Amino acid sequence: MTQARPPATPDSVSNANSPASPSNVPDANQPAAQTCSTCKDRRVIVIDPGHGGTAMVGGSSPNNATAVSGVLEKTLTLQYAQTLKQHLDGEACKSIFRGRGYADVQVVLTRTGDTNPGLSTRVNVAKTNKADIFLSIHFNGGVAAARGTETFYKAGSNGNANLGEDTALAQTVQTALFNAMKSIDGGAKDRKIKPDTDTKHKSLGILRDPGIGYSGKMCRSVLIEVEFISNHQVDALLVSGGRASANRSTLMLAVARALANSL
C-alpha cells in the first residue's frame, strides 16, 4: 500500500545531499505543486549508450569493441542503457527519489536506436535537459586475457571545473558496478576509477560538463567501461550465455541505485 507523498517544500530540497526532513509538512501558505522545469525537486539523469550507426559522426565511432561471440559493443551499450533506464524508472529507485525529496526524476537516453549522434550532440542532450548526471556506457576490447571494470572522469588538466564531484560520483558508480560484477563472477577485476588522461587520446570528448556556463547548474559526468567483451568468460557472462540478460539486470540495478543515491 502506498500513501500519496506530500509536495516537497523548497526548504526540503535546498541541499541535494541531504534527505528530506521527516518533519516537513505541507504548508497551506506555500504555492501549489510546481510544474516548472526549474523546480528544485526535479532531477534529470542522461544515459549515453556509446557508439551506434554505421559511420563516424562528430568524433563518435560507430563501434569499437566486438564480443567473442560477434555481438557489437554498440548493441550492448544500448541494451545496458535501456535496462538502466528501466531500473531508474522502477519502483525501487522511485522510492529512493521520494526519500530524497525529488518529486520528478526524468531519465533520458542520448539514442534509442542504432544511430550515432556525434559527441557534442550527445553532450547537448544533457545540456538541453539541464541534466544533473550524465553517464556514458561502453565496453572494452583487448587481448583475450584482459578483464576488468573501470570508470573514467574528466581530468583536472583537461579543464574539469567540478573534479571533486565527478571523482566522487565515479567512485560510487565504480564500487557499485564492480561489486555487482563480483557477485556474479569470481574473476571480476577492479580496474578502479581513472582520469581521461589515462586513455589513448589523453581525453574523452564525451566527458564535458554541459551545465557550467550553459544551463547554470553543474552536471556530473562519468563513463563506465563495463568489462572486456573480448574475453571468453565475459562473453559467456554478459553477452551470449543463458544468464546474460539476468546479469545485465543485476549490474544495471546496482548502477541505478548508486545514481539514485547520488542525485
Binding residue for Zn ion, selected from 44, 45, 50, 123, defined by CB under 5 A: 50
CA gap 183, 185 in Å, rounded: 6
Binding residue for Zn ion, selected from 64, 86, 128, 199, defined by CB under 5 A: 64
CA gap 259, 188 in Å, rounded: 21
Sole window of 106-114, 120-128, 138-146, 253-261 interacting with Zn ion (rule: CB under 5 A):
138-146
Our CA angle for 23, 24, 30, nearest 5°, is 150
Continuous segment of H or E residues that includes residue 153: strand 149-153
In this complex, which beta carbon is closest to Zn ion, that of residue 64 or of residue 124? 64
Shortest reach from residue 84's CB to Zn ion, in Å: 16
Residue 217 makes CB contacts below 8 A (sequence gap 6+) with 130, 132, 211
Question: Which residue in the shown chain puts its C-beta closest to Zn ion?
Answer: 138
**Residue 183 DSSP symbol:** H
Q: Which of residues 96-115 bind Zn ion (CB under 5 A)?
A: none
Shortest reach from residue 139's CB to Zn ion, in Å: 6
Going by their DSSP bridges, the two strands 104-109 and 190-195 should be labelled as unpaired
Sole window of 97-105, 137-145, 195-203, 229-237 interacting with Zn ion (rule: CB under 5 A):
137-145
In this complex, which beta carbon is closest to Zn ion, that of residue 97 or of residue 228? 228
In this complex, which beta carbon is closest to Zn ion, that of residue 93 or of residue 229? 229
In this complex, which beta carbon is closest to Zn ion, that of residue 43 or of residue 138? 138
In this complex, which beta carbon is closest to Zn ion, that of residue 50 or of residue 195? 50
Confirm or reject binding of residue 199 to Zn ion (CB under 5 A).
no
Binding residue for Zn ion, selected from 138, 208, 220, 257, defined by CB under 5 A: 138
In this complex, which beta carbon is closest to Zn ion, that of residue 52 or of residue 195? 52
# chain residues binding Zn ion, by CB under 5 A: 3
CA gap 180, 35 in Å, rounded: 36
**How many contiguous H segments (helices) and E segments (strands) does the chain have?**
6, 6
Q: What is the torsional sign of CA 182, 185, 154, 145?
A: positive
In this complex, which beta carbon is closest to Zn ion, that of residue 48 or of residue 166? 48
CA gap 240, 67 in Å, rounded: 9
* Three-class DSSP labels, 207-259: CCCCHHHHHCCCCEEEEEEEEECCCHHHHHHHHHCCCHHHHHHHHHHHHHHHH
Sole window of 38-46, 60-68, 95-103, 234-242 interacting with Zn ion (rule: CB under 5 A):
60-68
Quick one: residue 137, left, alpha or beta (phi over 0 = left, psi -120 to 50 = alpha)?
A: beta
- Interface residues with Zn ion (CB under 5 A) are 50, 64, 138
